[in-house]
């Protein structure tokens, strides 16, 4: 880890910030200019760039009205401001983070139900002030101390029905401590964990990295709440923590004597600034480590002593048909027999190592008399694998392996040469599934049990797949919007519709939304396993329900019909329903016409099914179109040759 910068994977724009910036840029590009009330996000660099793109900034909402387009910031806005903008005719583009919108709805709903909304967060933060404005009498506390004080002020407070939410960037420890006090002291409390998953992941990751490094750098605007919280969290784990807005603020010499440094960034920090800080930190650490080794260190290294059973690192100097020669920086010549190079007897040495490669080995035997040392890469690899396996249990590391066989009660997975038994219940497959079908598959798993003495290892594929599924579900719920399109897979079917997996979450496509054509069962248009392009009609995060559609509502079937046919035209139609008075036939998908019983045949019939059947394709003449009521009259009889009786009736009468 020496000389490296550990960069947090979750550093930089969160979904809500990215969405707000993209909406502002798109609106400005489409309209030439627009407005933002205050800072769209808490980052001066990004706000300045938006101003250059035509997103003007104002703190006075009263100056905006009809003809103005206003981007509502990611933190949300006071409800009174939104109502006033709407009253004056301004067009509002709501860039409020969906997670914040959810909290606004929760406090509003709580008050409608006669409950007291209680918000844990920073009282003067724009997000908290905006959320509080969605109810008449909110309570806002900054942590457990404020909660205790409120409870002590009046014993009746403990009887108040409470709905508790949190600022999206709240430190989890503060929120959990607060709601646990309320849960214990109050008689009627509903808790909603509204801390953004991305925020929690960012804070957890920052704490983990800070505990491993000598210096921790947090990048972000000083007005950003989540950046401030990241700094506070890192200070608990690392003795030296810096919060900067750009690379220019890094003090010279701060990384002297630093073996490793960490870097994370707030949710409003653009990637370009993070990259610049990362590059500067890497260069500073490299420069601080550039000193030459002392003569004494070099001398001690040249007289390295080799001892049986130790690990030693050397450089491959030669490869022969029988051995690999290694320079380990000692007086003795060292080599590895081919049998000690790899477990694979068919492996060629030149495929495993090359001259000049650095190689770590295990010292098998040292012969000081003859001046050589025998090494083994194979034994060290085996030791390392077992060490990795044991560490994986403690750290719950995800490992990869290949399924080699089906065993009694489960399967066997080879992980770096170690046999790992996975019980059937942990295979990730449904109960009773054919596990032999998994043979040869690469899988990810966690090691749950290790007995090195008995060489027994047990693992779980299910824990990894469940976690991945949960992460995918959180990602979907974190970004879902009405109208958003997904490519999904049909998971199951019912008589009234199909369930479609859109990435770990199932949504329902009602049969009426599957096709413009009239269908009786979903199986007429799709089957389990099919891929469908769907879009969100509505969703309920609380009940975890999503309504999806497949039909393209931008296409009006009636317009398609009117553009294609006129009265007198002949159309090939499909019989979709038989009634006592006639038959309905599909002319184009989504548009049906009526063939009256008198127009089905060239003779009198008792009922339509005497001649027609559902699903049958027939030619029919369009005899009338009622555009206002969108009704069509069809006739099969008009295309048939007249009978003798009809011809006689239509013949002219001779005088």
Name the residues annotated as catalytic. Answer: 127
Q: How many CB atoms lie within 10 A of CB 38?
A: 14
- What's the CA gap between 148 and 129, in Å, rounded? 22
Residue with tokens 């409800």: 79
- What's the CA gap between 192 and 335, in Å, rounded? 64
- Using DSSP, state whether 621 is helix, strand or coil: strand
- What's the CA gap between 592 and 584, in Å, rounded? 6
Q: How many CB atoms lie within 10 A of CB 131?
A: 33
Nearest to 411 by CA among 442, 452, 453, 455: 442
Distances 255 to 206, 210, 216 between C-alpha atoms, Å: 19, 15, 10
Residue with tokens 């992941």: 201
Q: Tokens representing 262?
A: 């960490």
Query: How would you list the strands of the sheet with 116-120, edge to edge?
Result: 139-141, 116-120, 162-166, 189-191
Q: Tokens representing 387?
A: 């060490």
- What's the CA gap between 103 and 190, in Å, rounded? 13
DSSP H or E run through 481: none
Q: Spell out the residues 6+ positions from residue 648 whose beta carbon is closer than 8 angstroms to its own.
A: none
Q: How are beta strands 162-166 and 139-141 bridged, if at all?
A: unpaired
Backbone angles phi, psi at 137, to 5 degrees: -130, 70
Residue pair 244/196 in contact (Cβ under 8 Å)? The answer is no
Q: Dihedral, CA atoms, 563, 565, 571, 577, nearest 10 degrees?
A: 80
Q: Spell out the residues 6+ positions from residue 575 whose beta carbon is closer than 8 angstroms to its own.
A: 583, 584, 585, 612, 613, 614, 615, 616, 617, 618
Q: Spell out the residues 6+ positions from residue 251 whose beta carbon is closer than 8 angstroms to its own.
A: 242
Residue pair 110/132 in contact (Cβ under 8 Å)? The answer is no
Per the document, the length of the chain is 655
Q: Spell out the residues 6+ positions from residue 237 whose beta carbon is closer than 8 angstroms to its own.
A: 207, 210, 211, 216
Long-range contacts of 175-181 (CB under 8 A, 24+ apart): 175/120, 177/143, 177/144, 178/120, 178/141, 178/143, 178/144, 178/147, 179/120, 181/144, 181/147, 181/148, 181/151
Q: How many CB atoms lie within 10 A of CB 248?
A: 9
- What's the CA gap between 270 and 52, in Å, rounded? 16
Q: Tokens representing 90?
A: 């301004």
């Amino acid at each position: 880890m020496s000389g490296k910068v550990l960069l947090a994977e979750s550093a930089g724009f969160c979904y809500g910030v990215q969405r707000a910036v993209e909406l502002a840029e798109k609106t400005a590009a489409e309209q030439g200019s627009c407005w933002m009330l205050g800072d769209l996000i808490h980052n001066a660099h990004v706000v300045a760039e938006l101003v250059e793109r035509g997103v003007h900034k104002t703190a006075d909402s009263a100056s905006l009205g009809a003809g103005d387009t206003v981007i509502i910031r990611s933190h949300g806005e006071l409800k009174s401001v939104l109502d006033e903008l709407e009253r004056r005719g301004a067009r509002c583009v709501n860039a409020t983070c969906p997670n914040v919108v959810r909290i606004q709805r929760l406090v509003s709903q709580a008050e409608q139900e006669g409950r007291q909304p209680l918000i844990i967060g920073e009282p003067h933060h724009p997000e908290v002030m905006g959320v509080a404005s969605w109810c008449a009498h909110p309570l806002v506390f900054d942590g457990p101390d404020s909660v205790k004080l409120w409870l002590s002020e009046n014993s009746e407070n403990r009887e108040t029905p409470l709905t508790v939410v949190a600022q999206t960037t709240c430190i989890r420890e503060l929120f959990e401590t607060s709601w646990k006090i309320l849960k214990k002291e109050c008689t009627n409390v509903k808790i909603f964990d509204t801390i953004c998953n991305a925020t929690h992941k960012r804070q957890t990751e920052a704490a983990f990295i800070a505990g491993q490094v000598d210096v921790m750098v947090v990048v972000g605007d000083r007005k950003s709440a989540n950046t401030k919280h990241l700094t506070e969290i890192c200070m608990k784990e690392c003795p030296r923590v810096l919060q900067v807005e750009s690379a220019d603020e890094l003090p010279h010499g701060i990384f002297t004597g630093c073996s490793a440094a960490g870097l994370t960034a707030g949710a409003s920090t653009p990637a370009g600034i993070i990259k610049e800080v990362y590059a500067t930190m890497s260069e500073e650490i490299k420069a601080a480590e550039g000193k030459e080794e002392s003569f004494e260190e070099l001398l001690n290294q040249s007289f390295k002593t080799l001892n049986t059973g130790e690990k030693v690192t050397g450089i491959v100097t030669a490869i022969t048909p029988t051995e690999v020669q290694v320079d380990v920086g000692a007086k003795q010549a060292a080599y590895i027999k081919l049998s000690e190079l790899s477990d694979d007897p068919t492996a060629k040495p030149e495929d495993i190592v090359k001259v000049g490669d650095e190689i770590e080995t295990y010292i098998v035997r040292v012969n000081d008399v003859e001046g050589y040392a025998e090494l083994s890469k194979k034994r060290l690899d085996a030791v390392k694998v077992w060490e990795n396996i044991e560490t994986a249990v403690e750290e719950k590391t995800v490992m990869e392996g290949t399924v080699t066989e089906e065993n009694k009660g489960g399967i066997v997975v080879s992980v770096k040469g170690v046999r790992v038994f996975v019980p059937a219940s942990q295979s990730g497959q449904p109960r009773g599934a054919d596990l032999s079908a998994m043979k040869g598959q690469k899988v990810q798993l966690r090691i749950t049990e290790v007995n090195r003495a008995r060489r027994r290892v047990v693992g779980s594929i299910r824990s990894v797949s469940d976690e991945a599924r949960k992460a995918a579900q959180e990602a979907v719920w974190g970004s879902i919007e009405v109208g958003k399109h997904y490519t999904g897979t049909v998971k199951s079917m019912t008589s009234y519709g199909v369930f479609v997996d859109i990435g770990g979450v199932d949504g329902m496509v009602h049969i009426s939304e599957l096709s413009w054509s009239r269908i009786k069962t979903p199986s007429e248009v799709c089957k389990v396993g099919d891929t469908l392009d769907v879009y969100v009609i509505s969703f309920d995060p609380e009940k975890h329900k999503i309504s999806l559609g497949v039909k393209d509502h931008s296409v009006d079937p009636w317009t398609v019909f009117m553009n294609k046919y006129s009265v007198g035209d002949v159309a090939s139609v499909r019989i979709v329903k038989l009634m006592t008075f006639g038959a309905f036939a599909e002319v184009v998908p989504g548009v049906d016409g009526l063939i009256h019983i008198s127009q089905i045949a060239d003779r009198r019939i008792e009922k339509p099914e005497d001649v027609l059947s559902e699903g049958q394709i027939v030619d029919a003449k369009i005899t009338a179109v009622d555009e206002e009521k969108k009704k069509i009259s069809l006739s099969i009889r008009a295309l048939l040759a007249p009978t003798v009786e009809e011809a006689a009736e239509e013949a002219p009468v001779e005088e």
